């Protein structure tokens, strides 16, 4: 059983930065993949970034490449998302998720077994 708690959301102006954090309780095994997804009003939840707990392999959605960076701290069991050059289109609820049996596609929402409650990010123009 894994519990995920996000923090760090808020209101920021376009071009600004925010850092989200996800604290994981329970055992995070080395084969796990942790990720961030987001969901804007009226839209489906979409993949943002993921990181492999074992080898730190990271993946990003095209829309955030070069602006967002995902980090993981195995000692603290935390995953962070550093978001720079934020745009109004980044406004969404951001969710942390854990995949305990990752396959080839770590960008699919259905692959993830545990989810946090989400944190709101609002970017004003």
Integer Cα distance of 10 and 7 in angstroms: 9
Q: What is the pLDDT of residue 102?
A: 86
Distance (Å, whole) CA 66 – CA 51 = 16
**pLDDT (tens digit, 9 = 90+) per residue, 101-125?**
888 788 999 999 999 999 999 999 9
Q: What is the pLDDT of residue 50?
A: 97
pLDDT at 123: 98
Q: Do residues 37 and 56 touch, judged by C-beta distance below 8 A?
A: no
- What's the confidence (pLDDT) of residue 28? 86
Using DSSP, state whether 80 is helix, strand or coil.
Answer: strand
Residue 30 has pLDDT above 90, yes or no: no
pLDDT per position as a tens digit, 42-89: 999 999 999 999 899 999 999 999 999 999 998 899 999 999 999 999
pLDDT interval class at 32 (50, 70, 90): very high
């Amino acid at each position: 059983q894994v519990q995920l708690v996000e923090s760090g959301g808020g209101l920021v102006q376009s071009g600004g930065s925010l850092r989200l954090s996800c604290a994981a309780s329970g055992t995070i095994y080395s084969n796990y993949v942790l990720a961030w997804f987001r969901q804007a009003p009226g839209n489906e939840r979409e993949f943002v970034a993921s990181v492999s707990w074992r080898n730190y392999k990271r993946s990003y959605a095209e829309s955030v490449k070069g602006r967002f960076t995902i980090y993981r701290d195995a000692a603290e069991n935390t995953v962070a998302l550093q978001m720079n050059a934020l745009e109004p289109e980044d406004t969404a609820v951001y969710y942390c998720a854990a995949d305990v049996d990752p396959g080839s596609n770590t960008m699919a929402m259905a692959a993830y077994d545990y989810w946090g409650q989400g944190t709101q990010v609002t970017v004003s123009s």
